[in-house]
Amino acid sequence: MNSYPILIIGIGNAFRGDDAVGLRVAQDIKKEAPDRVNVIVQNSDGAALMESWKNADTVILIDAVHSGGNFGTIYRFDVHTQPIPTEFFHYSTHAFGVAEAIELARALKQLPQNLIVYGIEGKCFEAGIGLSIEVERAAQEVVTRVRRDIQNVLPRKYTEYH
């Protein structure tokens, strides 16, 4: 059972350059996480994701994206008001990844009450450790925004920041 009302999930691979950004944001949030906020990191296995958010009211998920946008672009989705483009989180070689897990949970009526997804446009997904400058900057910005989300009532809007 997950007794925390807010669950923060950082997704990524620590050894694939900017793919680690979700993990990095989660680690920063964890340092000063208020009570009743649980922070976990995961790889992009869709079934495991669906399992991990099963008992949380509000979930904030952070992952790198590879959609052809400007490096470091931050995308924010309120999953209840819009579908996640399936090609968005398709960097993973898993046949069943983040976008599929979200849409499958929607079809099965198993989405958490609130689900916010932050996507950060990565620059380099080659093997190696460390974020690019653009993504590093975006990571800090996302940390601030996630902290604000935690503090505030979660707004159900889609916004795109540069």
The span from the CA of 160 to the CA of 51, in Å, is: 28
Per CB under 8 A, the list member of 48, 140, 148, 158 interacting with another protein is 48
Q: Is 129 in the site for another protein (CB under 8 A)?
A: no
Give exposure, 140-153, as e/b (b: 16+ Cβ within 10 Å): eebbebbbebbeee
Per CB under 8 A, the list member of 50, 64, 117, 146 interacting with another protein is 50
Q: Is 14 in the site for another protein (CB under 8 A)?
A: no
Q: Is 63 in the site for another protein (CB under 8 A)?
A: no
Instruction: Pick left, alpha or beta for residue 27 (phi over 0 → left; psi -120 to 50 → alpha; otherwise beta).
Output: alpha
Q: What is the largest CA-CA distance in the chain?
A: 39
Per CB under 8 A, the list member of 2, 30, 96, 147 interacting with another protein is 96
Contacts to another protein by CB under 8 A: 43, 45, 47-48, 50-51, 93-96, 100, 103-104, 106-109
